[in-house]
Structure 1
Amino acid sequence: MKINKKLIALITTGILSISMLTGCSSGGESTSSDSVKKVGITQLVEHPSLDQTKEGFIKALEDNGYKDGENVEIDYQNAQNDNPTSQTIASNFVNDKKDLIYAISTPSAQAAFNATQDIPVLFTAVTDPVEAGLVKSLDNKDGGNVSGTSDFLSIDKTMSLVEKLTPQAKKIAVIYSTSEVNSKVQVDSLKEYAKTKGWEVIEKGISASSEVNQAITSVVGKADVLYVPTDNLVVSSMPIIAKVANENKLPIIASDEGSVTSGALACGGVDYYQLGYKTGEMAVQILKGEKQPSDLAVETMDEPVITMNEDTMKTLGIEKPADIDVKLVKTEN
């Protein structure tokens, strides 16, 4: 059989051409895919303050050129106040090889911290990241793959509202989750501060949302004021707590604006939207390859925003102090 050399040459050339085109096409798709950053957002539970940190974070990304669905893919997951679910979410993010994990709340941050030592993790709404085991120090000089923002405020800035709004108060009740590190830190700070004022602290520790109603009912008639720390379990149940407290003329001094819009009397707390925005700016530096988490100190917001609920003020017969700037809100249904 006679071989047609010319035909073989033509076939070979065609195969090479197709191969080259396929290679170019494949390479182009890979480059496009690699340019899209994958960000996982893990949040313990829905409530206004934590939701605001998420919104602020995403806005910071957008303002710096990272828009979801274009050059960044944001995967938002909510654990519905279940710690094991937080751990599952963190593991899934690691398996999906996210470029960055944004963890909202202490339990979510701890789950991400335990899931990876390689993927950058940024936390927010963590009161004491050192006590929570996330970083060794706030300057983060010995840090690994974790940094973020803290919602810590000195207890005296919140308790000053007790003296201004309920000057006769001597018994301060506090409801908190016994499983949250950040809550224990705040309760300990409250007890130390109370000693300097001669106040009695009535502690009510809970382990599940089903215990909230009994806890608030048990302090009615015994406490002059109810203090609510930045506790995820308690804050997510604020509508129930506020209803019982307001019906029984028990003022609530909270630590976040979301609790005030749920019916608490007042708070001296951080601006959670701005806290999330600040964390988003940190994320931009990491996504651009300019910084690693270990290059970034943990950031805080120094001055509280004083917020009061107009509806609750009327219910309790308490007026806005004339000597402080106050943001007024109404109860959201």
Structure 2
Amino acid sequence: MTCPRERPAISRRAFVGGALAVAYGPRMAEGQPAGKLAAIGFVSERVLPPRYLDALREGLAERGWIEGRGFRIEPRSAEGDLERLSGLVVELIGLGVTLIVTGIGTPVALAAKRATAKIPIVFVTGGDPVDFGIVPSAAKPGGNITGYGGGSSLIQKRIALVQETSPRVKRMAFLVNLTNPIHPRILRAAVSAGAPLGITLEEIGVFEAAEFGDAFKRIAAKRLDALFVPGDAMFSHHRARLVALAGAARLPAMYGDRLFPDAGGLMSLSVDLVELCRRAAGHVDKILRGTRAGDLPVEEADRFELVINLTAAQTLGLTIPAALRQRAETVS
């Protein structure tokens, strides 16, 4: 697996997009009154680094859209609290947004889908949008929603990578946010994926971040020897705490996105969600020019990120195999 490194702040793609915008002028959404900007609501489950929203802007610039002249973005974040999502979407609807982009997970896409059957929605998620109930079909999503998604095949690869890094692992803790509606399904998939590898996974559930300490006491009491942390807004929001607890417990840990190894966690394998945000501009562009969201097929991720923190590995006494290092982006 070749994992792309993060682009520089000003990429060739952004330069070309800017040149196209100058050449062709700002685009206006079909049916928009002259002088009125298309309002794009961007709602996320957690506070995201700027590169995610910048990627969407870059993708729109490539298609001739100029922020402040052809469109504006109304960003909202639930800051790790999934219960806030519905209210944030309703707030955007009240502002009269032209369409809504959700990032970067399944719960926020489901919240937007429940909130409106009229305003177009473009979702970005690392999960399987059909399996998780966002759309009935990738080819024909129907209704007012479409987007970009990943799949469940990464689950077994994540477990296998932990085993490759630490061959002694046999019993893995699976951290579950008990307020996240998709975690039970991910846990079932993980249990099935671990069986052929000879690894059992045990649920360690929490309702809130204040329970993390107790969760790691349960992990120690069960003598579990590794940790699987799936993608989740609350986990990501409190990633520094989780990384510290995993390190103190000397647990090899696999995380749901690269924000964790960037914060000192051992490793992550995930869809390149920054790239998906850039690609999401393609559907946004088509919708603003008059295409129905439900007529646009859901597109799959084709780029993935394997990130390994070498300092964390050294602290745990792990030697990362040379072949694995060649496939990964390493940080320290």
Common fold by TM > 0.5? yes
CA distance in 2, matches of 1:111, 1:85: 10
Secondary structure of residue in 2 paired with 1:109 = helix
Deviation, structure 1 residue 32: 3.2
Residue 76 of structure 1 corresponds to 75
Superposition pairs of residues 13-32 of structure 1, within 5 angstroms: 31-32=33-34
Residue 97 of structure 1 corresponds to 96
User: Does the CA-based 8 Å contact 2:144-2:293 persist in structure 1?
Assistant: yes
Identity of aligned residues (%): 25
Deviation, structure 1 residue 84: 4.1
User: Does the CA-based 8 Å contact 2:141-2:296 persist in structure 1?
Assistant: no
CA distance in 2, matches of 1:146, 1:180: 21
Residue 6 of structure 2 corresponds to none
Superposition pairs of residues 178-327 of structure 1, within 5 angstroms: 178-220=178-220, 222-289=223-290, 291-302=291-302, 304-324=304-324, 325-327=327-329
Deviation, structure 1 residue 220: 3.2
Residue identity matched to 1:169: V
Compute the TM-score of the two structures, normalised by the length of structure 2.
0.82
Residue 40 of structure 1 corresponds to 41
Range 101-110 or range 165-174, more displaced: 101-110
Residue identity matched to 1:280: A
Secondary structure of residue in 2 paired with 1:323 = helix
Superposition pairs of residues 65-214 of structure 1, within 5 angstroms: 65-104=64-103, 105-125=105-125, 127-139=127-139, 141-154=140-153, 155-214=155-214
- Which structure 1 residue ranges, 5 or more long, are not aligned? 1-29
User: Does the CA-based 8 Å contact 1:175-1:227 persist in structure 2?
Assistant: yes
Deviation, structure 1 residue 119: 1.1
How many positions carry a matched residue from both structures?
296
CA distance in 1, matches of 2:255, 2:81: 23
Secondary structure of residue in 1 paired with 2:299 = coil
Range 150-159 or range 263-272, more displaced: 150-159
Deviation, structure 1 residue 327: 0.2
User: Does the CA-based 8 Å contact 1:151-1:275 persist in structure 2?
Assistant: no
User: Does the CA-based 8 Å contact 1:172-1:225 persist in structure 2?
Assistant: yes
Deviation, structure 1 residue 66: 2.0
Deviation, structure 1 residue 161: 0.5
Secondary structure of residue in 1 paired with 2:55 = helix
Deviation, structure 1 residue 191: 0.4
User: Does the CA-based 8 Å contact 2:307-2:329 persist in structure 1?
Assistant: yes
User: Does the CA-based 8 Å contact 1:126-1:182 persist in structure 2?
Assistant: no
User: Does the CA-based 8 Å contact 1:132-1:181 persist in structure 2?
Assistant: no
- Which structure 2 residue ranges, 5 or more long, are not aligned? 1-31
Residue identity matched to 2:77: N
Range 178-187 or range 157-166, more displaced: 178-187
- What's the CA shift string for 1:147-190, capped at 9, x where partnerless? 11124341222122122101111011111212223322221111
Secondary structure of residue in 2 paired with 1:275 = helix
